[in-house]
Amino acid sequence: MMDLRDLRAFVTLAELLHFGQAATRLHLTQSALSKQIRRLEDAWGGALFERSAAATRLTPLGEALLADAERLLDDAGTLDRKARDVVAGVAGVLRIGFGVASKDIVPRAIARFRELRPDVRIELLDLSTHHQIQLLQSGRLDLGFCRLPAPSGWPVLPMAEACFVAVVPQAWGVGGTLADFARHPLATVARAGAPAFYDHLMSYFAGAGVRVSELQTVSDFASAVALAASGVAWAIVPSSTAIDQRLVRAEPLSAAEAGWQVGLMRPPGEPGPFVKVFWQVAERLCDSVR
């Protein structure tokens, strides 16, 4: 196996073309330098240098391999620096989950984090709370902005309040109760896409005595709003959902049972350097809005 020290000796000697000067730069004896060059020549099957009393110069084999050797050394140096940066917590990857209910919080937290750690790459995954927790448990996510409560024993930082919003076609007129709306088809996200949201909604309806005549499940909340705008259904979405349709009106549900908290969470255990810094950023963000 090729030794990077031997490769460095080859590149240094190719630059200086003088055994004495190259040995001095490498803090070696000329004998030790000669042994390193000989090991490479044995491994590569030919002489790398022609040496005479007057001069040292590269052979055709040495000239052909020099650029690749320099590139390998550069890559090794980059790898060493990256490893040190990751260990020091200044470079690497931070994987963060989020959902529609946290879309206003996440950009602010990431912007502040990147001011402190500009070389850390952020991977964002748009997932339901259920799916975020699965990935956090398996180690495929580092942090998650999720619906609370978190699993028992997990560190949690409450970040925002959310609630159900009824999105009703303007053509239906002003006023109306949930029971009135429920006589029409309801559009909301399918349980597979957001299990916690769906189960909470069904539980809320049961507690409020609301019976929905027809349920139309969609893949995302934007589609539910679009169906309401078309007049064929009403919708229930989280309060953070963008509703810019003039053909609907949005009515937040004020009952305590219709609300929930969103927070930043992570599995228990000692956090990595990136997680620790991001958590501190999120704590300061919470303090600034209180």
Provide the whole-model pTM: 0.65
Q: What is the pLDDT of residue 85?
A: 59
Q: What is the pLDDT of residue 119?
A: 84
Q: What is the pLDDT of residue 260?
A: 94
Q: What is the pLDDT of residue 248?
A: 94
The dihedral region occupied by 45, where left means phi > 0, alpha psi between -120 and 50, and beta the remainder, is: left
What are the φ and ψ backbone dihedral angles of 270, each rounded to 5 degrees?
-70, 120
Contact assessment for residue 229 and residue 237, using Cβ atoms and an 8 Å cutoff: no
Residue 253, exposed/middle/buried by CB under 10 A (0-12, 13-18, 19+)? Answer: middle
Three-state SS string over the chain comes to CCCHHHHHHHHHHHHHCCHHHHHHHCCCCHHHHHHHHHHHHHHHCCCCEEECCCCEEECHHHHHHHHHHHHHHHHHHHHHHHHHHHHHCCEEEEEEEECHHHCCHHHHHHHHHHHHCCEEEEEEEECCHHHHHHHHHHCCCCEEEEECCCCCCCCEEEEEEEEEEEEEEHHHCCCCCHHHHCCCEEEEECCCCCHHHHHHHHHHHHHHCCCCCEEEEECCHHHHHHHHHHCCCEEEEECCCCCCCCCEEEEECCCHHHEEEEEEECCCCCCCHHHHHHHHHHHHHHHHHC
Q: What is the pLDDT of residue 2?
A: 72
C-alpha 20/C-alpha 31 separation (Å) is: 10
Q: What is the pLDDT of residue 226?
A: 94
Q: What is the pLDDT of residue 202?
A: 95
Mean pLDDT by 10 residues, the chain (290 residues): 86 91 92 92 92 88 92 81 63 85 84 90 91 94 94 94 94 87 94 92 94 93 94 93 88 93 94 92 78
Going by C-alpha positions, the residue among 189, 134, 184 that lies closest to residue 164 is 189
Contact assessment for residue 130 and residue 148, using Cβ atoms and an 8 Å cutoff: no
CA-based R_g, the chain, Å:
31
Q: What is the pLDDT of residue 53?
A: 79
Going by C-alpha positions, the residue among 130, 113, 131 that lies closest to residue 122 is 113
Q: Count Cβ atoms below 10 Å from residue 30 Cβ, excluding itself.
A: 12
Going by C-alpha positions, the residue among 161, 163, 141 that lies closest to residue 265 is 141
Which domains are assigned to the chain?
4-88 (1.10.10.10), 91-159+262-289 (3.40.190.10), 163-260 (3.40.190.10)
